[in-house]
Amino acid sequence: MTDLLTALLLGILEGLTEFLPISSTGHLLIAQHWLGARSDLFNISIQAGAILAITLVYRQRLWQLATGLGVKAQRDYLLKIALAFAVTAVIGLPVRLLGWELPETVTPVAWALVIGGVWMLVAERLGERGPPSDAVTWKIAVAVGLAQVLAGVFPGTSRSAAAIFIALLLGLNRKPAAAEFVFLVGIPTMFAASGYALLETVLEGTAGDEDWLGLAVAFAAATATGFATVRWLLGYIATHRFTPFAWYRIGLGAALLLGLPAGG
């Protein structure tokens, strides 16, 4: 398989899985276990391609927020997005610099998929017990920021799953509203992560080793498939539960654990 074809497939996989609560990072790591490992810059940058898709999907909402600063509700919502991002940045950067994360191998990813699937089943049930609400509180904003850090420490957790389901548990139990807030927080989060990874690559002097054409192909593929996926997902969760995704995670994680050789 050529490098460009592999990059294309990884980009499509990223776009399909970034917004579904099944862990894009986990799926990329599993795919690269057989297709060959890629750099951190590659993995983070194609996630930014998927986030670009979110920017396009929510372009009207973003414009509404940008031009509605004179409206208290709009201003507060934007400040809560900023707070969630700040929590992720302030806590996540030291965590990354100190190397506090599980190894990016299949076994911990498989366990994260299983545990995350069980967490989704429990959290959705508990979240549904409260009165319907689409209000984003300051507590929810902080919790979403912390959930993003947690997802970075445990590959396979899923940033969107960790953040959406903590929001559901804390009272933001209208799923489209929870998804919107989490996806909008993901825009500055992933663009900042990509910029940081690019800076690291330049400072380490390894930019010449990067497959820039493959990265560009994967970025474009992630953007296109991410746009289609998120449009479908927003319609789906308006009338359906997350249960199928939870059982998919549990099944995939169990299959990986059962199929791995000792020490895999």
Q: What is the pLDDT of residues 251-263, one digit of tens each?
A: 999 998 887 654 4
Distance CA 180, CA 198 (A): 27
Q: Please determine, for residue 69, whether its predicted confidence score (pLDDT) is greater than 90.
A: no
Confidence of residue 65 (pLDDT cuts 50, 70, 90): very high
In-domain check, residue 172:
yes
Tokens, residue 131: 């009165």
Total domains in the chain come to 1
In-domain check, residue 263:
no
Q: How far is CA 52 from CA 45, 79, 91, 166, in A?
A: 10, 21, 24, 24
Each residue's pLDDT tens digit, 200-246: 777 877 766 778 898 899 999 999 999 999 999 999 999 999 999 99
Contact 18, 193 (CB under 8 A): no
Contact 198, 45 (CB under 8 A): yes
Contact 87, 142 (CB under 8 A): yes
Q: What is the CA radius of gyration of the chain?
A: 18
DSSP string across the chain = --HHHHHHHHHHHHHHHTTTTT-HHHHHHHHHHHH----HHHHHHHHHHHHHHHHHHTHHHHHHHHH-TTSHHHHHHHHHHHHHHHHHHHHHHHHHHHT-S--SSHHHHHHHHHHHHHHHHHHHHHHTTSPP-----HHHHHHHHHHHHHHHHSTTS-HHHHHHHHHHHTT---HHHHHHHHHHHHHHHHHHHHHHHHHHHHHHT-GGGS-HHHHHHHHHHHHHHHHHHHHHHHHHHTTS-SHHHHHHHHHHHHHHHHHSPTT-
The residue range of the domain holding 239 is: 3-257
In-domain check, residue 124:
yes
Across 144-152, average pLDDT = 92
In-domain check, residue 100:
yes
**Of 4, 53, 43, 37, the residue nearest 23 (C-alpha):** 43
Q: Please determine, for residue 95, whether its predicted confidence score (pLDDT) is greater than 70.
A: yes
Q: What is the pLDDT of residue 97?
A: 74
Q: Please determine, for residue 264, whether its predicted confidence score (pLDDT) is greater than 60.
A: no
In-domain check, residue 264:
no
Contact 217, 11 (CB under 8 A): yes
In-domain check, residue 99:
yes
Tokens, residue 9: 């497939």
Q: Please determine, for residue 24, whether its predicted confidence score (pLDDT) is greater than 60.
A: yes
Tokens, residue 58: 């929510």
